[in-house]
Amino acid sequence: MLDEVIKVVTPEVIGYIAATLTTVSFLPQAIMTLKTRDTESLSLGMYSSFTLGVLLWLIYGVCIADKAIIYANAVTFLLASLILSFKIYNTLWKKKES
């Protein structure tokens, strides 16, 4: 039985499971931030670094043609970019009001 499981659970399957879990775990925060547009508690430096890191993972996935890495990071990069845009806008808007 264990041999059958090992045959099914290939590195590619593990990659898709990992990609799904990490992307899905990001969704609740992303959806809440997109709905409320409240970015007050987000660090601009951290979110900039995170978004750049996701972009680099996406580029890496394209370079090695790994679909799991590409799909997960494309979705995460899109959402992270939107949130980062809100954060930058909110930060600049707040400075203009001061």
Q: Looking at residue 8, which CATH number applies to its domain?
A: 1.20.1280.290
pLDDT of 63 reads: 98
| Residue 43 resides in a domain | yes
pLDDT of 90 reads: 92
Per-block average pLDDT, block size 10, for the chain (98 residues)? 74 91 92 92 95 97 96 96 94 78
Pair 23, 45: CB distance under 8 Å: no
| Residue 95 resides in a domain | no
As a whole number of angstroms, the distance between CA 30 and CA 36 comes to: 10
As a whole number of angstroms, the distance between CA 10 and CA 12 comes to: 5
pLDDT of 93 reads: 86
| Residue 54 resides in a domain | yes
As a whole number of angstroms, the distance between CA 83 and CA 79 comes to: 6
| Residue 29 resides in a domain | yes
Q: Which domain holds residue 65?
A: 2-90
As a whole number of angstroms, the distance between CA 48 and CA 34 comes to: 17
pLDDT of 11 reads: 87
pTM: 0.84
| Residue 98 resides in a domain | no
